[in-house]
Each structure stands twice: as C-alpha cells, then as structure tokens.
Amino acid sequence: MTDFRLLTYVEQMTSASEELLMFVSGMTKDEFLRDVIIQRAVGMNLLIIGEAAAQLVEKYPDFAAQHPEMAWSEMRGMRNRIAHGYLSINLDTVWATVVSAVPQLLAQLRALRHIHAQGE
C-alpha cells in the first residue's frame, strides 16, 4: 500500500503543473515576458513542484529510484534557482520549461498518481 504522504507530494506537483498550464494558456512568450504577475505565479508553482519533488526524493528514495523517467533532480534544481536567485532567473528558460517540460511532467504525474492510487 502506498503511503498517504507520498501521494500528497505527487498531488501537489500535479496541481501546481495544472495551474502553470492554466496561467499561460493562450499566452505568447512576449506576453509572458511583459506580465510580472504571471511570472510570479509561474515561479511560485515551479517552487512548489521542486519542493515537493525534493521532499519526495528525500523521504521516499526507493519510489524515486523506481521512477527514473521523472526529472527529480531537474525539478529540485529549478526550485533552487528560483528560490535563491529569483531576481536573476532567466525568464526565457522559465517559459521554455513551462511550455515544453510541464505538459510532459503533468502526463507523467497523472500516470504515477493513477498507478499508485491503485496500490502498486
């Protein structure tokens, strides 16, 4: 049976990913670069994803090892870059992450949630 906290971390990452995609839906890169409110919202959700991933890896290393397809260290790395250098983050990189990596991440998280909710 899967630990409730483990599923909570996966759910936190899933919710934050869904919000990220909602925030930028229909938005161009130029619009994103001009909208500081959306930038902050996106940054906060990337922090949430990275922190949940870091906690999951720390508390459930066997689970993380069973799922090498997940970009655990990259999520944590993005969190660290935003948290420790927020005023100097590269918004082009943030945009590229949101539009290219987050949709794939969301699909992976939904699959994880489904598999482990069934008691794998």
DSSP 35: -
Domain ranges of the chain: 4-117
pTM above the 0.75 mark? yes
Q: Residue 105 in contact with residue 112, Cβ under 8 Å?
A: no
Could you read off the pLDDT of 102-115 as tens digits, one per residue?
999 999 999 987 76
In this predicted structure, the answer to whether residue 85 has a pLDDT above a threshold of 90 is no
SS3 labels along 39-107: HHHHHHHHHHHHHHHHHHHHHCHHHHHHCCCCCHHHHHHHHHHHHHCHHHCCHHHHHHHHHHHHHHHHH
Could you read off the pLDDT of 20-47 as tens digits, one per residue?
999 999 999 999 999 999 999 999 999 9
Rounded to whole angstroms, how far apart are CA atoms 72 and 57?
7
Could you read off the pLDDT of 36-82 as tens digits, one per residue?
999 999 999 999 999 999 999 999 999 999 999 999 999 998 888 88
